[in-house]
Amino acid sequence: MFVLLYEGLCNEGYILMKIIAGLGNPGQKYDKTKHNTGFMTMDHYLDEKGLSLDKDKFEGLWTKQKINGEDVILLEPQTYMNESGRSVSQVANFFKVDPEDILIIQDDMDMPIGKIRIRANGKSGGHNGIKSIIRDLGTEKFNRLKIGIRHPKNATVVSWVLTPFNDEQQKLMDDAFDTSVKIIDDFIAGRDSQYLMNKYN
């Protein structure tokens, strides 16, 4: 047991494990709304892999799996968006996961609907979920998979992000969800952020 644990350790006592977290708001009221793009992306990935979030702890729904030989935690925080960092940091601290081995899936109003962008680190860009993760992890050095939902044209920001996509928009999002499966698999396989940015941005 000691040998196995020792072999699983990497620099600074971190465990060789990845965390993929999709952000959103829990509850039927928010289901399929634009701000829940992270949840929807994660749900699509789970469906593709025949998996489910079978654990309820650390203020989130999650599962620990071995995917293509790699240990991975798939997580949907249940804290509401603005406190997502509480759940992400609890999981990361418990399993001793390096922030650079975390991928956060988020919506982004500064990009067209369905547009994908990978970032290796950086500020929150005004996204409260990301802001809370930076606060609770104590670093900006974690990966983000950003999916565009664009700014509203004739609506308030709140009403825009808390309503579903129309049929035309949903088709663009479905394409983004399919691409996201490949991105997540590449991230799990150990592809670094520069590789992901070159391939998908």
Spatial distance between the Cα atoms of 139 and 143, rounded to a whole number of angstroms: 11
| Amino acid making up residue 7 | E
Cα 171 off chain centre by: 21
Tell me which of 35, 44, 127, 151 is the catalytic residue.
35
Yes or no: say if 107 and 37 are a contact pair by the CB < 8 Å rule. Answer: yes
Cα–Cα distance list, 35 to 26, 86, 195 (Å)? 11, 18, 27
Tokens of 52: 């489910």
Cα–Cα distance list, 95 to 72, 127, 173, 177, 186 (Å)? 11, 26, 32, 27, 21
Yes or no: say if 187 and 103 are a contact pair by the CB < 8 Å rule. Answer: yes
Q: Is 44 a catalytic residue?
A: no
Please name the residue ranges forming H helices in the chain.
2-8, 37-49, 84-95, 128-137, 157-161, 167-188, 193-200
Query: Which sign does the torsion angle of CA 59, 33, 172, 125 carry?
Result: negative
Active site residues: 35
